[in-house]
Structure 1
Amino acid sequence: MEKGDRAGLTAFFIGCLFFAFLGGAYIVLAQVFPYKFLDNAYRAGWALVQQKHTIDSPFTQTDQWRKARSDKRGTAIYDPKRAYNGYTLYTSGGRTTAYLIDMQGHVVHQWHADYSKLWQTTPDGREAQPDKLMYFRKAVMYPNGDLLAIFIAAGDTPWGYGLVKLDANSNVIWKYHGATHHDLYLTDDNRVFILTDAYRDQPVPGFRNLKTPWLDDYLVELNGENGQVVKKISIFDALWHSRYQALLGADPSFAMEDPLHTNSVQYLGDALGKAFAPAQGNGDQVLLSTRHPGLAVLLDVKSGQVTWALKGSWLGQHSMRALPNGHFTIFDNYGNFEKHNMSRILEVDPTTHAITWQYAGNAQHPFSNLLRGAVVTLPNGDRLITESDGGRLFEVAPNGDIVWEYDNPIRGGDHNQYIPVVSSGQRIKPDQLAPAFRRSLNTSQE
């Protein structure tokens, strides 16, 4: 080939590349055909790369492990005269196990279930993550030792994998293969309320920045006897078609594929329906926390409609719970803006919006929790707090004193430098347990 021909061919090739670049830039910037297909392929490929890194490096590539803040293990603080004494149920990252401990931190009972022995795929039919990347995100114990537990997997979306009911010996009573996540609530009449999620491909007219596919959350009611679905409600649709639709405009830009990120659910019942003013006497409602728009939401179970919503000063919140005094508590993950103490627990009056009580940590006991977290108000007025990122549970008296603290004793890594996150935090009085189960507990170290 002559030198001139080669130069012309090179120029032609460079020109093709230049026009291809211009065409690609126009497709991306204008988001015209075939942008959606290319974007979905890119995101899917990147997700596979990230998933591979997650499997290879669970300590550094998942949110189930954190750098341990100290060498403390087990019960570090215990004031028996001021604490609400009993057993504490919690779950630990890195394993699908729930632990029941006494006030000294001794394990008196535990439950375990491997996901791979229950199901081979995710709820939507994809290959499931290995068992080592799963843990029980939330567990709730019955007085007779039965246990409800939510499976969560790292490095996957939708991240919910299923719900199982175990007996005291970890035998399966029933299982629900849905994309369960974050929270569950067991009512006194054995109804189970859970949160699930699923992708939707349809754009929402009027929500211009919402990307497709996007993740919707659902409120699901299960029959506690057999795990069968009683009702399923789209939380997004309920909020979008309510008078509170404009509050979705508070969604941050990173949430355009996950516009709600609902992370807590509480069924009110008759007593709380009367005490909690926004419920207007209707206890057949659930209180929800939607993290990304930062909302407290009441959803009527019968009608499927949102009846009330509130946006406050909290940021990245979890674990909303209505109280008998008509207020509600919130785990405010990073609304405190103090060094080493970015988190706080709030008690809020829903009528005046006033913060009536708060706990925010101090220099001696830092309190910072970016993800997860929970707070339970105990019968004596103390708060049982789950600081997931710190791998600890602690009980705070009304004056802010820590009267009990437990640090997850499990460690990982080459030098035991990592601690698994904790969640759940259920405190149970011994006399609330069924006699047969109470006798079975390993109380020899108490």
Structure 2
Amino acid sequence: MKRPFRLILASLLSILFLMNACNSDDNTIDPVDDTGQNPTDDEPTDDEPTDDEPTDDEPTDPPGVGEEAGTVEIFNADLVSNGYVLINDAGADRVYLMDKNSIILHEWDLPFGIGNDVELLEDGRLLGIMKAEDPDIQYGGQGGKLQFVNPDSTVDWNFDYSSLDYITHHDVELLPNGNVITIVWERRTAEQAEQAGSSLDIPIFPEAIIEVDPTTDEIVWEWHAWDHLVQDHDDTKDNFGVIADNPNRINLNYVTDKEGDIMHANGLEYDENNDLIFLSVNFYHEVWVIDHSTTTAEASTSSGGNFGMGGDLIYRFGNPKAYNNALGERLFRNNHHPRLLDGADVGKFSIYSNGADLEQSTAYELELPNPLELQANEDNEPAVAWSFTDADLFAPRVSGMVRIPSGNRLITEGDFGVWEVTEAGEVVWKFHTPGFYWRSYHYETDHPGIVALGL
């Protein structure tokens, strides 16, 4: 019942997107949106936020504080976790906190819109990635601004990072030292791409990560995928090698059907215990693990840092085909929301696999190997510790999952809303209203950030 409606809606949105692209400025990069097609392994969908058109059943004015955000279904009240949910609705550029009855308790006024991630910190501020004014790079999920936002919606810190050559996008994370890390698309010209061994005759936008000190606005550390490539396309160009024999490097030509955005990273997670960064890479259908203990200089090489490998990949998982590994089972198909578990579950990792080509999403918890090791021509994939899927769980874009202290999981289905399921896989609660849900986060009622909001 739900899936045919989604296909019709996706087709209409695709038509509207292409009509808008025809009117775009010549200097703006406007990638082809393939979300109206049936996605395949080689055609990941992008995360372009879209506004829902109101219907007879949907008010044009969104609900405000004290009102119901949407429809709640309770299937087992005894097992629903107590707490609040922070909703990131990228389609409506809204961030609000609600209770489990969907009553909005607090909402922030974010004039630049979200692009995409916003989280509540322990001091009651938001940390978010917002949209730049008139960005030159406009792939789905673009940001351009990093901000701390106070409870009264005033901006406590703003960092602009958007130009013709780079833009922040998708995700931002607070480090224990008070700095923030974020993902960056950086332009490489067609000539640079060709010299690197690209099989495409166009500019490309590989990923980078930067760390910013909010007290000085200084970029204090950076990592660039560009420094860690391998290709078997042209032996007269840079980075030539055997893909399968170089699992710690990134196959530049794994994705060849996209308009420049060849990797499409969409999520960051920081491992404080090991000083590692986990990067969700949607178009490669895998997660890359990067050593943050390096200096910036070391991060551009293959030596240095706690693991002695510089900025090469310490570990990767989800899709062994991305580095021509014939061993290991592929799990991910357009993955979102990388997240390390803590407490008794240290060493486990959760992620949402959109399952675009399968039209079926799955939320996973994985047992990471200890130590992290990546070997050529061996099975490097982690074991599945827990998973959940359902005939009605499918969102080809965005989405995510967080573990609730009760042991339940809060699952965001990007084009539907939010589910709460138990360890045993029982669905106990759902929230739905038309929207485009990047992620949702669960907060206990005594969380310091909730207390700071005065709730």
Contact 2:255–2:263 under 8 Å retained in 1:
no
Amino acid at match of 2:88: T
**Matching residue of 1:198:** 186
C-alpha distance in structure 1 between counterparts of 2:193 and 2:74, whole Å: 52
Alpha-carbon distance change, 435 to 199 in structure 1, aligned in 2, over 3 angstroms? closer
**Matching residue of 1:230:** 220
Task: Map 1:154-233 onto structure 2 (within 5 A).
Answer: 157-158=138-139, 159-178=142-161, 179-201=167-189, 202-203=192-193, 205=195, 207-225=197-215, 227-233=217-223
**CA-to-aligned-CA distance 1:217-244 (integer Å, 9 cap, x gap):** 1111122556542222213424557932
- Displacement after TM superposition at 1:169 (Å): 0.3
**Matching residue of 2:97:** 100
**CA-to-aligned-CA distance 1:224-265 (integer Å, 9 cap, x gap):** 556542222213424557932665267233136222211111
- Displacement after TM superposition at 1:198 (Å): 2.1
Percent of aligned positions that are identical: 20
C-alpha distance in structure 1 between counterparts of 2:438 and 2:196, whole Å: 37
- Displacement after TM superposition at 1:333 (Å): 0.7
Q: Please state if 1:317 is matched with 2:335.
A: yes
Matching residue within 292, 302, 315 for 2:293 = 302
**Matching residue of 1:385:** 411
C-alpha distance in structure 2 between counterparts of 1:368 and 1:223, whole Å: 38
Contact 2:398–2:437 under 8 Å retained in 1:
no
Indicate the SS of the match to 1:253.
Answer: coil
Amino acid at match of 2:22: V
Q: Please state if 1:354 is matched with 2:383.
A: yes
C-alpha distance in structure 1 between counterparts of 2:73 and 2:351, whole Å: 25
Matching residue within 421, 425, 429 for 1:404 = 429
Indicate the SS of the match to 1:400.
Answer: coil
Indicate the SS of the match to 2:446.
Answer: helix
- Displacement after TM superposition at 1:208 (Å): 3.6
Listed as ranges, the gaps of 5+ residues in structure 1 are: 1-44, 55-59, 116-133, 271-282, 409-418, 442-446
- Displacement after TM superposition at 1:136 (Å): 4.5
Contact 2:84–2:97 under 8 Å retained in 1:
yes
Q: Which moved more, 1:63-72 or 1:200-209?
A: 63-72
**Matching residue of 2:50:** 64
Contact 1:384–1:395 under 8 Å retained in 2:
yes
Amino acid at match of 1:213: P
Q: Please state if 1:110 is matched with 2:107.
A: yes
Contact 2:126–2:150 under 8 Å retained in 1:
yes
Task: Map 1:420-431 onto structure 2 (within 5 A).
Answer: 420-431=435-446
**Matching residue of 1:49:** 22
Amino acid at match of 1:433: P
Amino acid at match of 2:272: G
Contact 1:209–1:256 under 8 Å retained in 2:
no
Amino acid at match of 2:258: A
Task: Map 1:6-45 onto structure 2 (within 5 A).
Answer: none
Indicate the SS of the match to 2:227.
Answer: helix
Alpha-carbon distance change, 333 to 302 in structure 1, aligned in 2, over 3 angstroms? same
Alpha-carbon distance change, 68 to 314 in structure 1, aligned in 2, over 3 angstroms? farther
C-alpha distance in structure 1 between counterparts of 2:52 and 2:136, whole Å: 16
Contact 1:328–1:350 under 8 Å retained in 2:
yes
C-alpha distance in structure 2 between counterparts of 1:144 and 1:78, whole Å: 34
C-alpha distance in structure 1 between counterparts of 2:160 and 2:410, whole Å: 30
Q: Please state if 1:368 is matched with 2:365.
A: no
Give the aligned length: 343
C-alpha distance in structure 2 between counterparts of 1:367 and 1:204, whole Å: 41
C-alpha distance in structure 2 between counterparts of 1:208 and 1:239, whole Å: 10
Between Structure 1 and Structure 2, the one with more helix by share is 1
Contact 1:211–1:257 under 8 Å retained in 2:
no
**CA-to-aligned-CA distance 1:177-198 (integer Å, 9 cap, x gap):** 1222122222344332211212
Matching residue within 73, 76, 80 for 1:76 = 73
C-alpha distance in structure 2 between counterparts of 1:250 and 1:403, whole Å: 44
Alpha-carbon distance change, 224 to 394 in structure 1, aligned in 2, over 3 angstroms? farther
**Matching residue of 2:246:** 243
Alpha-carbon distance change, 169 to 221 in structure 1, aligned in 2, over 3 angstroms? same
Indicate the SS of the match to 1:292.
Answer: helix
**Matching residue of 1:85:** 82
Indicate the SS of the match to 1:203.
Answer: helix
From the CA coordinates, give the structure whose radius of gyration is larger. Answer: 1
Q: Which moved more, 1:184-193 or 1:153-162?
A: 153-162
C-alpha distance in structure 2 between counterparts of 1:48 and 1:323, whole Å: 41
Contact 1:140–1:424 under 8 Å retained in 2:
no
Listed as ranges, the gaps of 5+ residues in structure 2 are: 1-17, 31-35, 37-46, 59-68, 162-166, 231-238, 240-244, 300-310, 320-329, 370-380
